[in-house]
Amino acid sequence: MDALILARMQFAANITFHILFPTISIGLAWLLLFFRWRWLTVRRASAAAAQGWLDAYRFWTKVFALTFALGVVSGITMSFQFGTNWPGFMERVGDIAGPLLGYEVLTAFFLEAGFLGVMLFGHGKVSEKVHLMSTFLVAFGTTLSAFWILALNSWMQTPAGHEIVDGKFRVQDWAAVIFNPSFPYRFSHVLLASALTCAFLLVGVSAWQVLRKAAQRSAPGVMRVGLTLAALLIPVQIFVGDLHGLNTLHHQPAKVAAMEGVWNTGRGVPLLLFAVPDADRRMNHFEIKVPKLASLILTHELDGEIKGLNTFANAHPPPLPLFFAFRVMVGIGMLMLATSWIGWWLLRRARWQPAHLPRRVLWLFAAMTFSGWVATVAGWYVTEIGRQPFIVHGLVRTADVVSKVPSAMIGFTLALYLLLYLALIVAYLGVLKYMAEKPEEVLQVEAVEQAVTPPGAITAPVVQGATA
Amino acid sequence: MSWMNLDAALPVIFMALMGVSMLIYVISDGYDLGVGMLMHRATDAEKDVMIASIGPFWDANETWLVLGVGILLVAFPKAHGLVLGELYLPVALMLVGLTLRGVAFDFRVKAKDAHKQTWDRLFFAGSTLAAVAQGWMLGRYVSGFGSGWNYPLFAAAIAVALPMAYVLVGAAWLVMKTEGDLQRRAVQWARTAWAPMVGGLVLISMATPWVSVTVRERWFSLPEIIALMAIPLMTGASLFAVLAVLKTKQVLGALCWLPFVLLILVFVLGFLGLAYSIYPYVVLDQLTIWQAASGPAALQVILVGACISVPAIAGYTVFSYRVFRGKTGELKYA
Q: Quick one: pLDDT at residue A447?
A: 42
- Nearest CA of chain A to the CA of B198: how many Å? 31
Put simply, the chain A residues between 80 and 109 with a CB less than 8 A from any chain B CB are: 80, 82-84, 87-88, 90-91, 94-99, 101-103, 105-107, 109
Residue A177 host element (H or E) = helix A174-178
Q: Quick one: pLDDT at residue B329?
A: 66
Extract the runs of DSSP E, i.e. beta strands, from A355-435.
Answer: 390-392, 396-397
CB A23 within 8 A of CB A426: no
Extract the runs of DSSP E, i.e. beta strands, from chain B.
Answer: 281-283, 287-288
Q: Which of A206-220, B35-49, B107-121 has the lowest mean pLDDT?
A: B107-121
DSSP helix/strand/coil, B64: helix
Q: How confident is the model at residue B9 (pLDDT cuts 50, 70, 90)?
A: confident
Cβ neighbours around B166 below 10 Å, total: 31
Nearest residue to A244 via CA among A174, A326, A308, A305: A326
Partner residue facing B70 (CB), from A65, A101, A454: A101
Q: How confident is the model at residue A443 (pLDDT cuts 50, 70, 90)?
A: low
Strand partners, A306: A266
* CA pair distance A216, A353, nearest whole angstrom: 10
Residue A197, Ramachandran bin (φ over 0: left; ψ between -120 and 50: alpha; else beta)? alpha
Q: Quick one: pLDDT at residue A1?
A: 62
pLDDT above 90 as % of chain B: 22
DSSP helix/strand/coil, A285: strand
Report, as an integer, the average pLDDT of A14-25. Answer: 94
Report, as an integer, the average pLDDT of A389-416. Answer: 87
Residue B90, preceding bond cis, omega within 30 degrees?
A: no
CB A207 within 8 A of CB A354: yes
Cα(first)–Cα(last) distance of chain B, in Å?
Answer: 56
Query: Rounded to whole angstroms, what are the CA distances from B280 to A56, B11, B215, B276, B298?
Result: 55, 10, 12, 9, 21
Q: How confident is the model at residue B202 (pLDDT cuts 50, 70, 90)?
A: confident
Report, as an integer, the average pLDDT of B62-86. Answer: 84
Q: How confident is the model at residue A465 (pLDDT cuts 50, 70, 90)?
A: very low
Q: Is B234 exposed, middle or buried (0-12, 13-18, 19+ CB in 10 A)?
A: middle
* CA pair distance B195, A20, nearest whole angstrom: 45
* CA pair distance A212, A220, nearest whole angstrom: 13
CB B298 within 8 A of CB B74: yes
CB A329 within 8 A of CB A382: yes
**Do A105 and B96 lie within an 8 Å CB cutoff?**
no
Report, as an integer, the average pLDDT of B122-137. Answer: 93
Partner residue facing A117 (CB), from B67, B320, B329: B320
Nearest residue to A259 via CA among A296, A284, A231, A226: A284
Chain A positions touching B323 (Cβ under 8 A) are 117-118, 122, 125-126
CB B199 within 8 A of CB B157: no
Nearest residue to B313 via CA among A105, A100, A111, A101: A111
**Do A91 and B84 lie within an 8 Å CB cutoff?**
no
CB B107 within 8 A of CB B119: yes
Report, as an integer, the average pLDDT of B221-235. Answer: 83
Put simply, the chain A residues between 375 and 414 with a CB less than 8 A from any chain B CB are: 403-405, 409, 412-413
Nearest residue to A401 via CA among A413, A388, A412, A411: A388
More confident residue, A48 or A332: A332
Q: Quick one: pLDDT at residue B141?
A: 87
Nearest residue to A308 via CA among A352, A259, A351: A259
Q: Which of A108-112, A322-326, A351-355 has the lowest mean pLDDT?
A: A108-112
More confident residue, B145 or B239: B239
CB A430 within 8 A of CB B114: no
pLDDT in tens, A243-270: 998 899 889 988 988 888 888 888 888 8
Contacts of A106 (CB under 8 A, 6+ apart): B67, B305, B306, B309, B310, B313
Q: Quick one: pLDDT at residue A444?
A: 54
Contacts of B250 (CB under 8 A, 6+ apart): none
More confident residue, B3 or A272: A272
Q: Quick one: pLDDT at residue A442?
A: 61
Put simply, the chain A residues between 167 and 196 with a CB less than 8 A from any chain B CB are: 168, 170-171, 174
- Nearest CA of chain B to the CA of A254: how many Å? 31
CB A431 within 8 A of CB A66: yes
* CA pair distance A438, A370, nearest whole angstrom: 20
* CA pair distance B247, B191, nearest whole angstrom: 8
Q: Within a 13 Å sphere around the CA of A311, how many CA atoms are in the beta-carbon half?
A: 15
Contacts of A323 (CB under 8 A, 6+ apart): A258, A259, A260, A261, A272, A275, A277
Q: Within a 13 Å sphere around the CA of A115, how many CA atoms are in the beta-carbon half?
A: 22
More confident residue, A19 or A1: A19
**Do B71 and A409 lie within an 8 Å CB cutoff?**
no
pLDDT in tens, A120-134: 887 778 888 888 899
Report, as an integer, the average pLDDT of A295-322. Answer: 86
More confident residue, A150 or A281: A150
Strand partners, A171: A162
Chain A positions touching B331 (Cβ under 8 A) are 121
With 60 as the cut, is the pLDDT of residue A413 above it?
yes
pTM reported for the whole predicted model: 0.87
* CA pair distance B285, B278, nearest whole angstrom: 9
**Do B92 and A79 lie within an 8 Å CB cutoff?**
no
* CA pair distance A104, A192, nearest whole angstrom: 20
- Backbone phi, psi, residue A352, to 5°: 60, 20
Q: Look up the ipTM and state it.
A: 0.82
Contacts of B52 (CB under 8 A, 6+ apart): B328, B329, B330, B331
Chain A positions touching B60 (Cβ under 8 A) are 110, 113-114, 116-117
Report, as an integer, the average pLDDT of A220-226. Answer: 93
Mean pLDDT of chain B: 85
CB B129 within 8 A of CB B149: no
Partner residue facing B333 (CB), from A65, A72, A430: A65
Sign of CA dihedral A167, A172, A178, A181: negative
* CA pair distance A295, A268, nearest whole angstrom: 5
